[in-house]
Amino acid sequence: MAARLSVLLLRLGLAVTGPALTAAAKMKVVEEPNAFGLNNPFLPQTNRLQPKRDPSPLTGPAHLFRLSGKCFSLVESTYKYEFCPFHNVTQHEQTFRWNAYSGVLGIWHEWEITNNTFTGMWMRDGDSCRDRSRQSKVELTCGKNNRLAQVSEPSTCVYALTFETPLVCHPHSLLVYPTLPEALQWRWDEVEQDLADELITPQGYEKLLREVFEDAGYLKAPRESEPTQQEGATRGLGVETLENCNKVRSELSEEIKRLTNLLSLHGIPHERPTAETSHAEHLGQQSPTEMTAEQLQGDPGLRGNIL
């Protein structure tokens, strides 16, 4: 009887202490780092960052493609910056605040090209910043190792990064021309020849060369924006004044004189028809009688048919 009573009391004790132990175990969750907010630093970055679009395709020097799929970080002050070539640039605040900032500073967009050389990678369409999107320019410089060396913000929402890599140490490693397909190289050669022959202006040269780079995928076509249209409209109104009109007329006269000299240099006739010149003579046309006589003299078969 005593043994049964002891077993009963033991079971009652376990029933009482069981929920208390369970409650104590659940209370330990409070001691773990909180998970409030979307930008909590303990959440995976893939769950926090939401890029606006996909990166542009891989373009440029093929030997740089091996950097794709890798990321390089740099910690400055309380921020960690990550540069993933041909992908994006991100920024992460290194604090334990519940709303620590993490954002996209730009997504791979296009190259910057100067003097037949790739001079930088533009990352655009980052997170919103006031009335614009954040963007970053990454300058590639020679270095012993692949590393993100420097990050700055020269202007609001525009970031400048310096990435060191041994892949660009060769003096020809960032030249544009060798990376182009043969067809685009031919087009570039023609543009250079036209500029040398003064058949196009420097402005036309830059425009045609940009079209070559756009067709290669190195540059994106410029987006039409409202400020640009307004600026053009303002310039158009300025010509309506007499002073500006005379200035434009003088510039056009100089351009006509330059083109006339160029035509003379290449032996291209350019005389304008005088008032006495008939319309038929200007077009090089002949009367039907003259045409028939000329054809009869040069075509015996036609003469035989007519006779």
**Residue 196 sits in which domain range?**
180-221
Nearest to 93 by CA among 143, 51, 42: 42
| Residue 297 located in a structural domain | no
Hey, is 260 helix, strand or coil?
A: helix
**CA 155 to CA 143: how far, in whole Å?**
26
Q: Bridge-partner residues for 150, per DSSP?
A: 162
Nearest to 212 by CA among 179, 187, 235, 246: 187
Instruction: Indicate whether 80 and 126 sit together in one domain.
Output: yes
Helix axes 202-216, 182-196, angle to 10 degrees: 180
The total of other beta-carbon atoms located within 10 Å of residue 120's CB is 21
Predicted pLDDT at 302: 38
Query: What CATH code is carried by the domain that includes residue 166?
Result: 2.70.130.10
Predicted pLDDT at 18: 52
Nearest to 200 by CA among 262, 271, 249: 262
pTM for the predicted model, two decimal places = 0.59
Most confident listed range (6-15, 129-138, 282-291, 297-306) = 129-138
| Residue 266 located in a structural domain | no
| Residue 217 located in a structural domain | yes
| Residue 195 located in a structural domain | yes
Query: What are the strands, taking DSSP E only, across the chain?
Result: 72-76, 79-84, 88-93, 102-113, 118-124, 128-129, 132-133, 135-142, 147-155, 158-165
Between 246 and 48, name the one with better pLDDT.
Answer: 246
Euclidean distance between the first and the last CA atom of the chain, given in angstroms as a whole number: 151
Instruction: Indicate whether 205 and 152 sit together in one domain.
Output: no
Instruction: Indicate whether 159 and 199 sit together in one domain.
Output: no
Instruction: Indicate whether 157 and 208 sit together in one domain.
Output: no
How many structural domains is the chain composed of?
2
pLDDT tens digits, one per residue of 196-233 = 999 999 999 999 999 999 999 999 988 643 333 333 43
| Residue 275 located in a structural domain | no
Question: What's the mean pLDDT in 277-299?
Answer: 45
Burial 252-261 (b: 16+ CB within 10 A, else e): eeeeeeeeee
Predicted pLDDT at 11: 65
**CA 14 to CA 12: how far, in whole Å?**
6
Burial-class residue 212 by CB neighbours within 10 Å (0-12, 13-18, 19+). Answer: buried
Between β-strands 79-84 and 72-76, what pairing exists: parallel, antiparallel or unpaired? antiparallel
Question: What's the mean pLDDT in 233-242?
Answer: 46
Lowest mean pLDDT among 5-19, 125-139, 181-195: 5-19
Predicted pLDDT at 305: 41
**CA 307 to CA 304: how far, in whole Å?**
5
Q: Collect all residues with Cβ–Cβ distance below 8 Å to 189 and sequence separation of at least 6.
A: none
**CA 134 to CA 127: how far, in whole Å?**
6
pLDDT tens digits, one per residue of 104-143 = 999 999 999 999 999 999 999 999 988 889 999 999 999 9
Lowest mean pLDDT among 62-76, 118-132, 219-233, 263-277: 219-233
| Residue 152 located in a structural domain | yes
Q: What is the mean pLDDT of the chain?
A: 76
| Residue 288 located in a structural domain | no
Instruction: Indicate whether 154 and 207 sit together in one domain.
Output: no
Predicted pLDDT at 68: 94
Nearest to 55 by CA among 93, 83, 92: 83
| Residue 39 located in a structural domain | no
Instruction: Indicate whether 89 and 160 sit together in one domain.
Output: yes
Burial-class residue 79 by CB neighbours within 10 Å (0-12, 13-18, 19+). Answer: middle
